Amino acid sequence: SYKPNIAFYEAHGLKGWQALEKTIAYLNEKCPDHFTIADAKRGDIGNTSSRYAKAFFEELNFDSITVAPYMGKDSIEPFLEYENKHTILLALTSNVGAFDYQTKMIGDQMLYQKVIDISKEWKNSRNLMYVIGATKAEYLADVRKIIPDSFLLVPGVGAQGGSLEKVCEFGMNDQVGLLVNSSRGILYASNGRDFAEAAAKKARELHVQMKKILINY
């Protein structure tokens, strides 16, 4: 799977957007079977979200996009209308700020659990996936009580220090159900001219770790 981070393209203005179009066109041509994720964290009122959906699902032809839940149902449903596309809802993120709001109690649930729970009622919610940070692996057991079958995108292994073993222990279901992501751990493996080889090495290492766990599974 490939997960371009849209901010790093936008920061370069028009040239950045051009590079983004080239990147996704290249991925869709060279690796048509690989799942692509626009890491964009979008979300707005309905008529606006439908434009973001068009941008990433039609114009750029990504398989999925990350979205923020704060504005609720009508901010996400326009993304869910697309068949064969996945909308990846932020639930429990891997950063420190996650504790500002996401883990606050609303009745007997934390906000992130409420986010997941309510989202199950949205139209075409079968197209939803969820972000659960690897840095909070123990929470995955609670997540699996609410959505045993959903696919989870798990960032935070690598630079952010999350443990792959713990993520698998608490988060796997009988379809595996996990897409574990290391970004900076691979991308920034080397600042030298050997950056590509160093990144490939890091990716292979993680691949081997994953394989070991899956064999015992």
Give the residue with the Cβ less far from a second copy, 17 or 172: 17
Smallest gap from Cβ 88 to a second copy, in A, equals 13
Residues found near a second copy in the complex (CB under 8 A): 5, 7-8, 10-14, 16-18, 21, 39, 41-49, 51-52, 54-55, 59-60, 68-76, 90, 93-102, 104-107, 111, 114-115, 118, 184
> Can you tell me the distance from the alpha carbon of 112 to that of 64, in angstroms, rounded to the nearest whole number?
21
Give the residue with the Cβ less far from a second copy, 51 or 211: 51
Angstrom distances, CA of residue 125 to CA of 6, 57, 92: 24, 17, 18
Q: Please indicate whether residue 212 is annotated as part of the active site.
A: no
Smallest gap from Cβ 62 to a second copy, in A, equals 12
Amino acid type, 196: A
- Provide the token pair at 121: 């009622």
Smallest gap from Cβ 8 to a second copy, in A, equals 5
Give the residue with the Cβ less far from a second copy, 19 or 172: 19
Angstrom distances, CA of residue 48 to CA of 76, 149, 185: 10, 30, 34
Question: Pick the catalytic residue: 41, 73, 166, 201?
Answer: 41
Give the residue with the Cβ less far from a second copy, 32 or 107: 107
> Can you tell me the distance from the alpha carbon of 7 to that of 200, in angstroms, rounded to the nearest whole number?
23
Smallest gap from Cβ 157 to a second copy, in A, equals 14
- Provide the token pair at 100: 């500002």
| 105-106 vs 109-110, strand pairing mode | antiparallel
Tell the burial category of 70 from Cβ atoms under 10 Å away from its Cβ (0-12, 13-18, 19+).
Answer: exposed
Contacts of 26 (CB under 8 A, 6+ apart): none
Report, as residue numbers or ranges, the catalytic residues. 41
